[in-house]
A and B are shown apart, each in its own frame.
Chain A
């Protein structure tokens, strides 16, 4: 029975020990300078995280993305321009690091591809429409004498039917 206060004291001590550890993970570095942080985020949104490739380093929580974002922050603080920072990353990680690929000989197809497909689609559509119009025109051509006679007969019999 004497043990219970002792045990609860130990528990309380353990809880107290845990608390700073648990909260340490939550405290992310706060932006001391919102203007700087805005610029950092803008640049980070241009850069791909190579660990989780469909995210920018602004979105990603991968260790590498955090390191790179810190690197961007240091460089912005040191007065580097956006181009200088992007160049720095491209030198190390290649063009793939840019979320907007540059226009150059190897990426022409990438940039022109959607327009090419659109053009092809419009061409196919036009051809189909033309073919259909020709079909309609061919069907609605002048009636032959025989057909006209038959039409007259049909109309006549229709007239008689309605009269009676």
Chain B
């Protein structure tokens, strides 16, 4: 009987620690979900004379993928992005974050270019506007230019199949006011 109370307290502490271990401290809830994507206009990687703005994509559901040739986790993610491009799932625009142009071009030549185009954020200012803190990061942006989902770290096949593809399909069908279905919300949570 004397041991019931300490044992109970111990069990509660173990419970908290157990849950704490399964959480990912790197996943900080983004304040951007359901907010308009911050505007930018940046020179394109392949043709710096031309610029690209996020407004050019209005009317389309697309993904903005933040990447860099110095980023190790991007290498892990890269083959999946290349496959996505081959499968013509949806347009992915690359935000080449704080990178040297030659290095970035070299990497795309060597390992394939999964992007409809990439833009150069050499100083990282647009990265700050998008709250980027761990490359790679990906933003799913809807037809109205609103951020609907953010992936922190490399996109994996499971998250792509269960969350991103169904979400993009729903957003493509959706009118301006329609809500995302609960299934997709759950898969993306």
Contact = CB atoms under 8 A, between A and B. Distances in A.
A and B associate in one complex:
yes
B175 interface: no
Contact of A92 (B98, B124, B128, B134): B128
Contacts of B6: none
Contacts, number: 31
B10 interface: no
B131 A51 contact: no
A119 interface: no
Contacts of A96: 28-29
Interface string B31-43: 1000000000000
Contacts of B98: 63
A115 interface: no
Interface string B129-144: 1110110000000000
A155 interface: no
Question: What's the dominant secondary structure at chain A's contact region?
Answer: helix
Contact of A67 (B29, B124, B130, B134): B124
B30 interface: yes
Interface residues of A, number: 15
A71 B98 CA distance: 15
Contacts of A50: 28, 133-134
A96 B128 CA distance: 15
Contacts of A53: 25
A110 interface: no
Interface string A54-92: 000000000110011001000000000000000000111
Contacts of A11: none
A93 B31 contact: yes
Contacts of B129: 92
A118 to B, nearest CB: 16
B68 to A, nearest CB: 11
A5 interface: no
Interface string B16-31: 0000000001001111
A34 interface: no
Given A67-B124, A67-B128, A90 B134 contact: no
A114 interface: no
Contacts of A90: 31
5 contacts: A92-B129, A92-B131, A93-B31, A93-B133, A94-B31
Interface of B: 25, 28-31, 98, 124, 128-131, 133-134
Given A50-B134, A96-B28, 4 more contacts: A50-B28, A67-B124, A68-B128, A92-B130
Interface of A: 50-51, 53, 63-64, 67-68, 71, 90-96
